[in-house]
Chain A
Amino acid sequence: GDSVTQMEGPVTLSEEAFLTINCTYTATGYPSLFWYVQYPGEGLQLLLKATKADDKGSNKGFEATYRKETTSFHLEKGSVQVSDSAVYFCALSDYGGSQGNLIFGKGTKLSVKP
């Protein structure tokens, strides 16, 4: 079945450091790919998405490119801030399904130190 694998955390960085969180997927169809962010005590919020190969999603300085050849959707940010501390989830939604169900990775906790 479809699955998402993302790098395990926690990840601890200093402010203004470069961030990469790896995400790879397995899918039989043509999935849409998402990154969600969860701040402490809150629900998940959509960070960015990409719906077809070579699409780049971007938001709030974060970027991820849908790479079909490597089945990857790595999250990057050039300069992290303390306010970026959160848990980040990679997810896919199989285009072949009609329900839009999401399959999530296990999450990567990011801590940014001043």
Chain B
Amino acid sequence: NAGVTQTPKFRVLKTGQSMTLLCAQDMNHEYMYWYRQDPGMGLRLIHYSVGEGTTAKGEVPDGYNVSRLKKQNFLLGLESAAPSQTSVYFCASSWVGSNQPQHFGDGTRLSIL
């Protein structure tokens, strides 16, 4: 009964390093999303995907890239990490349709020094 699984759970990077966050869902959902959560800001959408092989920009896409090569996986990449990208990152997935709830992973806590 995994749902949405994010790896890693914690990571510390130095400025300029790169890394990839992995999101996997086992519910056969079409839509997947990446958010960042910062204190007092709620959740803000970084990128999303409406199907395998498709991606689109959200509210705060700068400094991030994504890929959806397989339906069940959605990768978020940081090519050159900056301290401003210190945040908690959440992945979510959902069925097609704006009235469908999103299912969230437990988050990745990322610190950029």
Contact = CB atoms under 8 A, between A and B. Distances in A.
Given A43-B104, A43-B105, A44-B104, A100 B42 contact: no
Interface stretch (B14-22, B65-73, B75-83, B94-102): B94-102
A29 B30 CA distance: 23
A51 B107 CA distance: 27
Contacts, number: 68
Given A43-B90, A43-B107, A100-B31, A95 B98 contact: yes
Interface residues of B, number: 28
B113 to A, nearest CB: 22
Nearest to B40: A106
A14 B52 CA distance: 48
B33 interface: yes
Given A43-B104, A45-B104, A98 B98 contact: yes
A102 B105 contact: no
A100 B102 contact: yes
Q: Shortest 5 CB-CB distances between A and B: which pairs?
A: A43-B104, A104-B42, A32-B99, A106-B42, A46-B101
5 contacts: A49-B101, A98-B50, A98-B98, A100-B100, A106-B41
Contacts of A73: none
Contact of A99 (B31, B99, B104, B106): B31
A64 B42 CA distance: 20
Nearest to B101: A46
A85 interface: no
A42 B88 CA distance: 11
Contacts of B41: 106
